[in-house]
Structure 1
Amino acid sequence: MANFSELDRYLFGQATHYEIYRKLGAHPTDEYGIRGVCFDLWAPNAARVWVIGSFNGWDEGANEMKRLEPETMGIFELFIPGVEEGDLYKYLIETKDGKRLYKADPYANYAELRPGTASAVADIEHFKWSDAEWMKERATHKEDVYEQPLAIYEVHPGSWMRHPGRQDDGFYSYRDLAKSLIPYVTEMGYSHIELMGICEYPYDGSWGYQVTGYYAPTSRYGTPEDFAYFVNECHRHKIGVILDWVPAHFPKDAHGLAEFDGSCLYEYADPRKGEHPDWGTKIFDYGKNEVKNFLIGSALLWVEHYHVDGLRVDAVASMLYLDYGKEAGQWVPNQYGDNKNLEAIEFFKHINTLVLGRNPGAVMIAEESTAWPKVTGPVEDDGLNFSYKWNMGWMHDFLDYMKLDPYFRRDNHHKMTFAMSYNESEKYILVLSHDEVVHLKCSMINKMPGLGIDKFRNLMAGYAFMMGHPGKKLLFMGQEFAQLREWSEERELDWFLLDNPDHKHIQNWVKKLLHIYRKNPALYELDSSWGGFEWINANDADRSIYSFIRKSKDGKNQLLFVCSFTPVARPDYRVGVPAKKTYKLILDSDSEEFGGCSRQRPQSYKAVEAECDGRPYSIAYPLEPYGVAVFRY
């Protein structure tokens, strides 16, 4: 009896087999009372296929697969008795022109630790989940997901922290991370962890962005069950999990997807559509149903089987534009003569609607770096239906401004206000990601002008502005304590820096900002609406001071932010306020816990009838160099 039924073949051919990960690949099963593994492979252009592995001594003729009807579908199947979990295997594919290819299983649930490239048999069905409360709570936020706090800690697991003195890489396992990363994230106040490089990949230096195993958690940190344990523990501690996911391209490694069965099976056949010249990678064929089903099945595996709370989709722009990274003659226009990839557009509409419709409260996040319209718009309005878009425009303007000597900031004041002019166009996440602290771009602290403590005070003001600005938040690991060196995947973060008070103070600052963010709905309920934000003074360029209000839906507990970006003290500073109320100081950058002078100052400020910033009422507050003050009223 075939494991891959006629119905399976039909659904796969329509790109609607949403549990394809339970059919293709290697699955432990019983056949006529005999325990073994059933192998199923899609390779329509192969002449013959064998399963070779540790269980048959890698004998290339021992286990030939049978081609199922209809032959044109190209499904090969074989049950091998006695094969056990953990056994290594590959497919030996004989092409129609007589070549022999040794391929890893595209649907494998586990893989040999690199530099090995074999797939490994894994039974992923027996983990006992205990996160029902989290999953139920997540589903209740289907309608108001945008009104929830989202503060993401972006983590590369292999370099967050390592075991010292070990002969191997010293990587923390998924279970080690559950013991150490979860408490850290909880204490700091993040709501979610975003993990880089979980889908299996061969080359450490790609950070996981050149994937060969779209259905396998990387074996660098443990087994599939270990990964499930990590997600389950995150949920038990009220932390969400987001994975980087890369449907834009894949590497040309001999054991991978490229020219899988001797033909361009997963990639576009025309190299002008099927290759990224800059990256040296292949581009998926989004017009082929079986390829779309491969990617859809991968997304659903992570969200539905492994319970992850969202996918951050990498390099979306490279999928949307046929000429992305290409010169004239290196790309082919679509049927209308322009540069839009119509098949990729439909793919996004399909997969986002599907994943979000089947999994209430989950999120799909686009790393999209252009002005493509309606990335987070509904399909009914010709949008792509992502939940959020990374705000790359805000990030570039913010970093351009923060790098400037304070003397020149007055002429660039608009860089920090411009993002509000388009804030309502999408649902945004403000990001300071790994991409900003590599390839000679400097760490965040070393982007800052000045010397010594001025760098830290600059960065503190920048983080406060980011936390107050509309949009969800993402910080890459190490930025919260002002890592000095650029990030490298080859070593752990420089945790020893926390012995230095300046680094400890900035970590305390980020922690305080995150907890204020999580506790105050004014900072996250109305992120995409002018109803949640109001400038007090957006035009104080001469003093490089920004003042604004964040508002909650119910009108209670509004927040007033004042951020100064020069080293000049303003002892006579006065700020206009919207009402004659008492303003409680809830964050003061001059506090001792953040390395300030901790001068005695009132905690409450009553508005007086004194015009300022075009308002009839105001409060006076002595603003320190690079001073930040946040008031609740």
Structure 2
Amino acid sequence: MQKVQAHSLFTDFDIQLFKAGKHFKLYEKLGSHIIKVDDTKGVYFAVWAPSAKSVSVIGDFNYWNDNEHQLHVRWDGSGIWEGFIPNISQGEKYKYKIHSHHNGIVTEKADPYAKRSEHPPNTASEVWDLNYSWKDKDWMGYRKDKNALDKPYSVYEVHLGSWKFDTKDNRPLSYVELADNLVSYVKEMGFTHVELMPIMEYPYDPSWGYQLTGYFAPTSRFGYPEDFMLLVDKLHQHDIGVILDWVPSHFPEDAHGLGFFDGSHLYEHPDRRRGYHPDWKSLIFNYGRNEVRSFLISNALFWLDKYHIDGLRVDAVASMLYLDYSREDGEWEPNKYGERENLEAISFLQELNETIYKDFPDVQTIAEESTAYTGVSKPISHGGLGFGMKWMMGWMHDTLDYFKKESVYRKYHHNDITFSMTYAFTENFMLPLSHDEVVYGKHSIRGRMQGDEWQQVANLKLLYGYMFTHPGTKLLFMGGEFGQTAEWNFQQSLDWHLLQYDYHKGVQQCVKDLNALYTTYPALYEKQFSQEGFEWIEHNDSEACVLSYIRKGHDTKNDLIVICNMTPVLRENYKIGVHQKGKLKEVFNSDLKKYCGSGVSNTKPIKIDDLGWHFKDYSAMVSLPPLSTIVFSIKN
């Protein structure tokens, strides 16, 4: 056995913070780090394994022999094992072999803090120190303005493994290739942000990345960590923000992962009723354990710090908040108050958001939370969870259900399409049409639309117009922007060949113009989370299936009027109430011929009359194209 040199990157203060669950830069201490000791270059290793009897570093450099390089346990009761191995360097593959105090259990684990992993299905960690020269100084200087809640926030959700394939080799594009292809496409389409489905290392492709084993390592499927940095950097250089899906809710039981790490329930809750997720057959973090909280919060800050990420979309928050989530009676235990809320998880989420916004006040956290839990995006000081935004799942489900109905029946379901406005300002809502809505037999977004091909496309453009003019920020999953007809398949590229057809090009141009509308007109974003930014004109015209409303910003001169005609009936001389004098000028119409619509439009400015209507002082007569969203500005 070679003696591993005793060495530590930890100070006593580091250990105090770690034990207290307050060390949020553990990635600078735990894991593998290339350093020099007494002029000898090598690697310092540190791993938390309090139930271990011994911990060895095994790898190519010692032929995976656990007798060669055994780490030292710290004297301070932290459970950290550490040591310096000389003469190994970048790219060395390794794992920790852990002999547990518990029943002679032996585990071989990837490094929880590794910054690079082997390409799946291989499971070793690799020694990796990040080395990249960022060129996004301008973006980092002004991204607080780009990420603000009163600025346009239009998100393109992407699964990197299936966005676009290299046609020659029939494989997903690499990070480097995406830095050209994806960046230029998102810029052309006018989205302000991209959201990447999990890019942290994961073992199982059908999980889409939502079962993580390498929390600090961008997946090696598409290249090296610095290649992913290049992708982020290029997006920033084109004024596009980057949001990462982040999964602190559960993790898989794979042998090399976090589960049963040192022969004990180290990262997962030891009570199966709180530590196992029956739906996903995965393990649930122990949010009450200080060192686990430090691990998770350090991980969130790592991506914001080292990769310049602009936001985290936190997955499956509802499953964290409730002890009875997806459990039958008798399968869960109430909290100390006899209630169903998971108090430790709630406390963790509050501390997570508090820490992120303290250290990175110019980013956003976004909760994927599907219940009526109150205060998800409210300040912690007011009893909220402290997220910047919350997905508006109710709007998504109600809206898609409405658009599945044939237009002749929509008048009986008018409340489904107006109901969202009864709670639209209870949270800072993001309107998502996400990947979950285009899989498992749900059809694509276009595939849910009713009617013949023309009506399907018209309905889709109408839906997008309604979405982009509804209060809240926006998220659209890839493929939806050109009306992909097939469900999403993670194993193949999007159907880009469809863009040779006019209907698909028309939808794509419509989404492009909606992004331009959203980012150009302050009435659509300055008060997107405030009741002051929205006013109904008429929400009770169920017989005609027409909605009309006003969107408002800080300056009333910039107000917009939106009208949605939910049937294929052309309605000429449709009278609406108007709250200002002047003339109406059509600034968007989803029925234009360039979108493959019928071409009905209000080409000339429309005079606003002094006759009151819809409880407004003025009125105007407009033409409503079939199955359309039209938007007017008000000019003097």
TM-score with structure 1 length normalisation?
0.97
1:439 corresponds to: 440
1:301 corresponds to: 302
1:156 corresponds to: 159
Is 1:608 aligned with 2:609?
yes
State the one-letter code of the partner of 2:152.
Answer: P
Contact map agreement 1:67 1:77 (CA 8 A) in 2: yes
Task: Choose from 33, 36, 45 the match for 1:30.
Answer: 36
Q: Counterparts of 1:365 and 1:600 in 2: how far apart (Å)? A: 38
Q: Counterparts of 1:414 and 1:63 in 2: how far apart (Å)? A: 68
Contact map agreement 1:4 1:40 (CA 8 A) in 2: no
Contact map agreement 2:601 2:625 (CA 8 A) in 1: no
Matches within 5 A, 1:517-596: 517-596=518-597
Matches within 5 A, 1:60-71: 60-70=66-76
3-state DSSP of counterpart to 1:417: helix
How big is each residue's C-alpha offset from its partner over 1:528-566, in whole Å with a ceiling of 9 and x where there is no partner? 222111111111100111111111112232111111110
2:123 corresponds to: 117
1:364 corresponds to: 365
3-state DSSP of counterpart to 1:158: coil
1:193 corresponds to: 194
1:329 corresponds to: 330
State the one-letter code of the partner of 1:420.
Answer: M
Q: Counterparts of 1:500 and 1:552 in 2: how far apart (Å)? A: 38
1:319 corresponds to: 320
1:489 corresponds to: 490
Q: Counterparts of 1:305 and 1:603 in 2: how far apart (Å)? A: 53
Matches within 5 A, 1:62-211: 62-70=68-76, 72-96=77-101, 97-124=103-130, 126-139=131-144, 145-166=148-169, 170-211=171-212
Q: Counterparts of 1:185 and 1:603 in 2: how far apart (Å)? A: 33
Residues 322, 599 of structure 1: alpha-carbon distance in 2 compared, 3 angstrom cutoff: closer
3-state DSSP of counterpart to 1:534: strand
State the one-letter code of the partner of 2:440.
Answer: H
Structure 1, unmatched stretches of 5+, are none
State the one-letter code of the partner of 2:297.
Answer: I
Residues 66, 600 of structure 1: alpha-carbon distance in 2 compared, 3 angstrom cutoff: closer
Q: Counterparts of 1:589 and 1:373 in 2: how far apart (Å)? A: 36
3-state DSSP of counterpart to 2:616: coil
Shift of 1:153: 0.3
Shift of 1:490: 0.2
Shift of 1:598: 3.2
TM-score with structure 2 length normalisation?
0.97
Q: Counterparts of 1:230 and 1:67 in 2: how far apart (Å)? A: 39
Q: Counterparts of 1:616 and 1:381 in 2: how far apart (Å)? A: 39
State the one-letter code of the partner of 2:157.
Answer: E
Deviates more, 1:4-13 or 1:47-56: 4-13
Contact map agreement 2:601 2:623 (CA 8 A) in 1: no
Q: Counterparts of 1:421 and 1:104 in 2: how far apart (Å)? A: 49
How big is each residue's C-alpha offset from its partner over 1:229-279, in whole Å with a ceiling of 9 and x where there is no partner? 111111111000000000000000011011000000001111111111121
Shift of 1:611: 4.0
3-state DSSP of counterpart to 1:517: helix
3-state DSSP of counterpart to 2:340: coil
2:22 corresponds to: 16
Shift of 1:612: 3.4
3-state DSSP of counterpart to 2:557: coil
Between the two proteins, the alignment pairs up a number of residues equal to: 627
How big is each residue's C-alpha offset from its partner over 1:402-427, in whole Å with a ceiling of 9 and x where there is no partner? 11111111011111111111122110
Residues 600, 10 of structure 1: alpha-carbon distance in 2 compared, 3 angstrom cutoff: closer
Q: Counterparts of 2:354 and 2:572 in 1: how far apart (Å)? A: 54
State the one-letter code of the partner of 1:87.
Answer: E
Contact map agreement 2:249 2:315 (CA 8 A) in 1: yes
3-state DSSP of counterpart to 2:568: coil
Deviates more, 1:228-237 or 1:37-46: 228-237
2:507 corresponds to: 506
2:49 corresponds to: 43
Structure 2, unmatched stretches of 5+, are 1-6
Contact map agreement 2:602 2:622 (CA 8 A) in 1: no
Shift of 1:629: 1.5
Contact map agreement 2:273 2:331 (CA 8 A) in 1: yes
1:259 corresponds to: 260
Shift of 1:311: 0.3
Q: Counterparts of 2:590 and 2:268 in 1: how far apart (Å)? A: 53
Contact map agreement 1:138 1:360 (CA 8 A) in 2: no
Matches within 5 A, 1:277-292: 277-292=278-293
Q: Counterparts of 1:445 and 1:177 in 2: how far apart (Å)? A: 26
How big is each residue's C-alpha offset from its partner over 1:449-480, in whole Å with a ceiling of 9 and x where there is no partner? 11111100011111101100000000000000
State the one-letter code of the partner of 2:81.
Answer: F
Deviates more, 1:185-194 or 1:2-11: 2-11
Contact map agreement 2:310 2:364 (CA 8 A) in 1: yes
Shift of 1:608: 1.8
Q: Counterparts of 1:141 and 1:592 in 2: how far apart (Å)? A: 33
3-state DSSP of counterpart to 1:549: strand
State the one-letter code of the partner of 2:613.
Answer: C
State the one-letter code of the partner of 1:339.
Answer: R
Q: Counterparts of 2:288 and 2:557 in 1: how far apart (Å)? A: 51
Q: Counterparts of 2:228 and 2:106 in 1: how far apart (Å)? A: 34
Is 1:2 aligned with 2:2?
no
3-state DSSP of counterpart to 1:429: strand
3-state DSSP of counterpart to 1:424: coil
How big is each residue's C-alpha offset from its partner over 1:586-622, in whole Å with a ceiling of 9 and x where there is no partner? 1123322111243575331121234433334222222
State the one-letter code of the partner of 2:137.
Answer: A
Q: Counterparts of 1:554 and 1:15 in 2: how far apart (Å)? A: 47
Is 1:393 aligned with 2:398?
no
Q: Counterparts of 2:195 and 2:590 in 1: how far apart (Å)? A: 28
Deviates more, 1:153-162 or 1:96-105: 96-105
Q: Counterparts of 2:290 and 2:203 in 1: how far apart (Å)? A: 27
Aligned residues: percent identity?
Answer: 47
1:374 corresponds to: 375
Deviates more, 1:249-258 or 1:576-585: 576-585
3-state DSSP of counterpart to 2:99: strand
Shift of 1:149: 0.8
3-state DSSP of counterpart to 1:279: coil
Contact map agreement 1:90 1:119 (CA 8 A) in 2: yes
3-state DSSP of counterpart to 2:337: coil
Q: Counterparts of 2:238 and 2:303 in 1: how far apart (Å)? A: 19
Q: Counterparts of 2:469 and 2:110 in 1: how far apart (Å)? A: 47
3-state DSSP of counterpart to 1:402: helix
Deviates more, 1:522-531 or 1:37-46: 522-531
State the one-letter code of the partner of 1:609.
Answer: D
Shift of 1:141: 6.8
How big is each residue's C-alpha offset from its partner over 1:361-397, in whole Å with a ceiling of 9 and x where there is no partner? 2001000100001111111111100000000011111
2:235 corresponds to: 234
Contact map agreement 1:195 1:243 (CA 8 A) in 2: yes
